[in-house]
């Protein structure tokens, strides 16, 4: 299974995610103490579970692939220079220890742990793990997507696509306002408030597109490979070229859809003047 993955065994990575969720995340779920949750910026929460899980993952990922670099959400919040590794030549692990921290902190089950393995801006593999249910989605470049070991079906072209619009304070100025004005132009369903969960919903055929105003790679690189492997398209809204993680700092919102045609249709409805 490790062909094309720099010698990495995908199941070993999945096991690591499960172990860290069991040791660092689940014991703190609905058990956070005073002072163990704070805001990095308005609406952007971090908890001791996020930080502890990332600290537990980082050395083990580096040991699993010598010479690799870990770009973790929490480490990057403290040292923004870390993100520049995405444009380098070393293999990169992109880590989101808890995607959906707001849900986690509120005691809601809508959170996941996510990883992506990237080389020269090319996403080779990704993992999205739901600690509460145990569900694990794994995408491997050129090999498809499996959810709990069962192959996901490639996307079908929807007659009338439905999807989520997740926008707010994150992202380029003016994008949220534009989407808010035009949201009635698309068939919108409720977001889970965790990008990883919404990408897995796409893989299950529950939704056909996603839009996020926030574009950081730990939120989207894992899901981007799922979208690609199932025949969909994902890209930043200011052009329809395929998604590149290293461009996040210069990009606006990110849109994914079950096909390139659907992507262009949703983009036209929401961003025709962008």
Tell whether 141 and 33 lie within a shared domain. yes
The rounded distance, in Å, linking the Cα atoms of 138 and 7 is: 16
Which residues touch 93 (CB under 8 Å, ≥6 apart)? 61, 62, 65, 68, 69, 70, 71, 115, 116, 117, 118
Domain end point (choices 109, 124, 151) = 151
Q: What is the CATH number of the domain that holds 215?
A: 3.40.190.80
Q: What is the CATH number of the domain that holds 48?
A: 3.30.540.10
Consult the annotation and say whether 261 binds a ligand: no
Q: Tens of pLDDT along 188-204?
A: 999 999 999 999 999 99
The rounded distance, in Å, linking the Cα atoms of 237 and 22 is: 37
Tell whether 100 and 81 lie within a shared domain. yes
| Nearest Cα to Cα of residue 269 among 187, 177, 190 | 187
Consult the annotation and say whether 99 binds a ligand: yes
Instruction: Name the one residue in this structure whose structure tokens are 């040292």.
Output: 79
* Structural domain count of the chain: 2
Consult the annotation and say whether 11 binds a ligand: no
Tell whether 124 and 145 lie within a shared domain. yes
Tell whether 124 and 178 lie within a shared domain. no
In degrees and rounded to multiples of 5, residue 98 shows phi and psi of -140, 110
Give the model's pLDDT for residue 43.
67
Low-confidence ranges of the chain (pLDDT < 70): 1-3, 41-43, 169-171, 273-274
- On whether residue 157 sits in a domain, the answer given is no
Give the model's pLDDT for residue 4.
73
Tell whether 58 and 176 lie within a shared domain. no
Which domain, by its residues, includes 14? 10-151
Consult the annotation and say whether 240 binds a ligand: no
Consult the annotation and say whether 198 binds a ligand: no
């Amino acid at each position: 299974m490790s062909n094309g993955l720099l010698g990495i065994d995908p199941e070993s990575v999945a096991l690591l995610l499960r172990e860290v969720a069991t040791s660092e995340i689940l014991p703190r779920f609905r058990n956070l103490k005073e002072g163990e949750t704070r805001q990095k910026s308005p609406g952007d929460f971090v908890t001791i579970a996020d930080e502890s899980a990332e600290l537990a993952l980082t050395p083990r990922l580096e040991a699993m692939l010598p010479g690799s670099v870990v770009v973790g959400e929490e480490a990057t919040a403290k040292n923004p220079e870390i993100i520049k590794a995405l444009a380098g030549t070393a293999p990169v692990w992109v880590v989101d220890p808890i995607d959906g921290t707001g849900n986690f902190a509120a005691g809601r089950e809508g959170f996941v742990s996510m990883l992506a393995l990237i080389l020269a801006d090319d996403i080779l593999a990704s993992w999205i793990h739901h600690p509460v249910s145990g569900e694990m989605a794994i995408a491997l470049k050129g090999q498809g997507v499996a959810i709990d070991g069962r192959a996901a079906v490639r996307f079908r072209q929807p007659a009338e696509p439905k999807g989520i619009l997740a926008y707010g304070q994150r992202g380029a100025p003016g994008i949220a306002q534009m989407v808010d004005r035009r949201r009635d132009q698309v068939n919108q369903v409720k977001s889970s408030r965790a990008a990883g969960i919404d990408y897995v919903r796409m893989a299950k055929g529950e939704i056909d597109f996603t839009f996020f105003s926030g574009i950081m790679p730990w939120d989207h690189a894992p899901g981007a490979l799922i979208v690609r492997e199932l025949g969909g398209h994902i890209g930043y809204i200011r052009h329809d070229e395929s998604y590149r993680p290293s461009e996040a700092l210069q990009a606006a919102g990110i849109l994914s859809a079950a096909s390139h045609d659907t992507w262009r249709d949703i983009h036209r409805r929401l961003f025709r003047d962008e």
